[in-house]
Amino acid sequence: MSMKNIKRLLGVFSMILGTVVFTACSDDEKQEAPVFPESVVLNCQPGESEPAELVFTANQPWTLASSKLWCKFSVDGELVNSLAGGVGEQTVKVVATDDVWDFNDALAELTLSMGGQTKAIAIVNRSANERDLKIYQDIEHPFGEENPAEFKYAIVGMSLKDVKIVANFDWEIQKYPEWVSIDEQYMVGKAGKITTVTFDFNEEADIRYPFTKEDTNNRIVFVNKDGKEYSVDIPVVYEGMPEDAVQFPIEPFTKWTFSQDARQYWIASDTPEGDGPEVVDKNFVELQVITPGKYHLVCFSYEQEYGYTLLDEWSTWIYTDINDICNVSVSVSRNSGMKREGYILAIPDVVYKTLNGEENLLEHPYDDDYAEIKEKYNKYILMRLSQEGEKAGGFDIMTGDGAPVTDGLVEVPELGNDFGTTNAWKLTLPKPDKETMFIITPKGLTVGSVSNYLWKDVTLEQEGNTFYLGIPASVNIESEDMYIAIRDENWLTTGVLFISFY
């Protein structure tokens, strides 16, 4: 190609290029500026069934972005943080998620970009998350105003067990009823973590009567651990003790032992180890009876030979005194015989009134097969007690009118050789000038059987461990002394008393 033709082509190309550039510049100058809609406010909450809608018209291609991760756009069920579109009317679905949802109001800005410009066209308001705390045993029925947390009465373990607490915030227990006891480690909890706790009765609580939700003190108050601006209180109630229930703070099988002179007591030990029980220099024991109404104290004496005997005011050696509705003091009389045992039952009125039926506790308190208090009445045993007896050996002797006989009574061990005992005594007195009665009781011995030799017309009657020796005024003194020999359950002689007159 010639140089001339090349120049002509370059000229044409230059004209064309100039035309294109001129046309492009002219189009830019003619394109309209982006028009942004007025800013609006949208209210969105996580979990709402329908998303909010943002409607705007774009006169140029656009992009829309959210300033917060929790604020998203819904496109065909998918959540995204930005969108892009073309010219025309637009409807955008806006969703607030529960990401980093705390307990303060939050705002997100939606910014629209067109034609190289950006402007906020919407403010999305997500309200603060509501604090939520549930306390329950059954998640379907959480405790609340219509379903109070209820203590149930039981002799053992009066508590509200396996209670679960869960909240969407860090919480703590700010207040709870005085009659409730809560382990300190369960007074606080973390957001989202289930805490399992047992609410117990306070040891000082009066468990006899109900606690109702009408009393504003009977509530457990939870607050948020950081600010305490949130508070929820759960009513706590207690049904109270049934009328026929009774409870004793002491261990039910504690065995108290009184000294023979009734001036001291101690708690008997079942084990030989150690230094033995601590002796208390006091002539009565104080106990508690916990029951909602009135009650009766019933005392029984137990002897191997006779079993359980109901004690009344004429035959008792156990004395009780109700100091007030709860406190009872127990004392015993001096024991001049063998070691003895007893039981005290505290029986609520509603039960006591039924005891004259076919199975009368007061007439037949023990189980025939086991010679023990009937099992159904064990729950009423306030106290098991025993009392040391007088040291075995010798005899207490009184005249029929109660005057003690000590003169003329001497211990003569050798007189017991023929009986196999060294507990041998002799009573020598002037011959009575009138009919006389002697009341004789062996000290510290249980009489299983007896053998004796008596002069003519002398009588001997026995009641338990006591003998009544009748001497007529005309008694003839024989050459051989009278005697009374005491034998135990195994027919072994444990004591012998010789009697003679001069």
346 bridge partner residues: 297
Task: Report how far residue 324's alpha carbon sits from residue 81's, in angstroms, rounded to the nearest whole number.
Answer: 76
DSSP codes of every residue in 265-320? EEE--S---SS-PPPB--S-EEEE-B-SS-EEEEEEEEETTTEEEE--TTT-SEEE
Contact 190, 150 (CB under 8 A): no
Task: Report how far residue 178's alpha carbon sits from residue 29's, in angstroms, rounded to the nearest whole number.
Answer: 83
Backbone angles phi, psi at 150, to 5 degrees: -110, 125
- CA 442 from chain centre, in angstroms, equals 50
The tokens of 406 are what? 């000590």
Q: Is the pTM of this model over 0.75?
A: no
Contact 415, 374 (CB under 8 A): no
275-279-283 Cα angle (round to 5): 165
Query: Edge to edge, what strands does the sheet with 482-487 contain?
Result: 409-411, 424-429, 493-501, 482-487, 449-453
Taking residue 311's Cβ as centre, other Cβ atoms within 10 Å add up to 18
Contact 222, 233 (CB under 8 A): yes
Query: H/E/C letters for each residue in 341-401?
Result: EEEEEEEEHHHHCCCCCCCCCCCCCEECCCCEECHHHHHHEEEEEEECCCCCCCEEEEECC
The tokens of 21 are what? 């550039």
DSSP codes of every residue in 133-156? EEEESSTTS--BTTB-EEE---SS
The tokens of 60 are what? 């140029």
The tokens of 5 are what? 């033709």
Contact 471, 437 (CB under 8 A): yes
CA atoms within 13 A on the CB side of 191: 11
Task: Report how far residue 481's alpha carbon sits from residue 468's, in angstroms, rounded to the nearest whole number.
Answer: 17
Per the listing, tokens 């219509």 go with 146
Taking residue 383's Cβ as centre, other Cβ atoms within 10 Å add up to 23
Write out the H or E segment, with its range, that includes residue 331.
Answer: strand 327-332
The tokens of 86 are what? 């073309």
Task: Report how far residue 203's alpha carbon sits from residue 219's, in angstroms, rounded to the nearest whole number.
Answer: 18
Contact 236, 149 (CB under 8 A): yes
325-328-309 Cα angle (round to 5): 120
Contact 496, 442 (CB under 8 A): no
pLDDT digit string (tens) for the chain, length 502 residues: 433 343 333 343 444 344 444 344 444 445 689 999 999 999 999 989 899 999 999 999 999 999 999 999 999 989 999 999 999 999 999 999 999 888 889 999 999 999 999 999 999 999 988 889 999 999 999 999 999 999 988 876 678 899 999 999 999 999 999 999 999 999 999 999 999 999 999 888 888 999 999 999 999 999 998 766 788 999 999 999 999 999 998 876 788 999 999 999 998 654 444 456 789 999 999 999 999 999 999 998 887 666 778 888 888 999 999 988 789 999 999 987 778 899 999 999 998 888 765 556 677 777 766 667 788 888 899 999 999 887 778 899 999 999 999 999 999 999 999 999 999 999 999 999 999 999 999 988 888 899 999 999 999 999 988 999 999 999 999 999 999 999 987 889 999 999 999 9
Task: Report how far residue 502's alpha carbon sits from residue 493's, in angstroms, rounded to the nearest whole number.
Answer: 27
Query: H/E/C letters for each residue in 187-243?
Result: CEECCCCCEEEEEEECCCCCCCCCECCCCCCCEEEEEECCCCCCEEEEEEEECCCCC
